[in-house]
Amino acid sequence: MIDSSGHDTSPAAPGDLELLQRFVNLHEHDERGRTVDPPSEMIRSFLEDRGLLTPGERFSNADRETYLRLRAAIRGLVDADPEDRTPAEDAEVIDQIGLAAGLHPHFHAAGSPTLEPKGDGVAAAFGTIVAIAFVASFDGTFAQLKSCADETCRAVFYDKSKNHSGRWCSMATCGNRAKVRAWRERQRVGE
């Protein structure tokens, strides 16, 4: 769920997956209240705030386009049927961004292995997001990310329901709107 100020208020995913969730939920609202893609400055600020970019680091229009491609590919994974294979075009985008970041496995003396980007900068920041998706795919938490079923909402939420049947990022807003629409439709058909 995205509040009126553009902040993501959907239930937070656990651990590093929360960073990926917030990354894909970045957006702005236009003058008519519609959700639009975030500008470069918003993306750069988000990456800085999360420690993935050093303050003031250059973030170009090409970097914004890479962000949009990566976000779309991750949304493609979120929306894919778990029984089906990863959409080829989404897998290719994610692979290219991971390769550009020089992702490599890192085994720790204490704790689980991680996948880490080499270097720093925008490529490494995006590589961190790819690494989070990769690890979450193995531990099963990625499968609990879902797109809100409300057609007017673009939020990706973490489904905390016991049977993983959640449909809306927020039952109080998106779920309620959907139920009201369905009720009004039933009333109109019944007339």
As a whole number of angstroms, the distance between CA 181 and CA 160 comes to: 25
Q: Which of 6-20, 34-48, 99-113 has the lowest mean pLDDT?
A: 6-20
Residues 6+ apart with CB under 8 A from 149: 167, 168, 174, 178
Q: Is the pLDDT of residue 59 over 90?
A: yes
Contact 51, 181 (CB under 8 A): no
Beta bridge mates, 29: 35
Q: What is the dihedral of CA 140, 69, 49, 15, to 10 degrees?
A: 0
For 62-89, what is the mean pLDDT?
A: 90
For 172-190, what is the mean pLDDT?
A: 60
For 160-172, what is the mean pLDDT?
A: 68
As a whole number of angstroms, the distance between CA 59 and CA 109 comes to: 35
Q: Is the pLDDT of residue 138 over 60?
A: yes
Residue 85, pLDDT score? 74
Nearest to 25 by CA among 127, 122, 170, 177: 170
Residue 4, pLDDT score? 42
Residue 123, pLDDT score? 97
Q: Is the pLDDT of residue 181 over 80?
A: no
Residue 35, pLDDT score? 82
Q: How confident is the model at residue 148 (pLDDT cuts 50, 70, 90)?
A: confident
- More confident of the two residues 85 and 65: 65
- More confident of the two residues 81 and 69: 69
Residue 1, pLDDT score? 42
Kindly report the backbone phi and psi dihedral angles of residue 45, in degrees, each rounded to the nearest multiple of 5, phi listed first. Answer: -60, -40
Residue 74, pLDDT score? 96
For 26-52, what is the mean pLDDT?
A: 91
As a whole number of angstroms, the distance between CA 143 and CA 136 comes to: 8
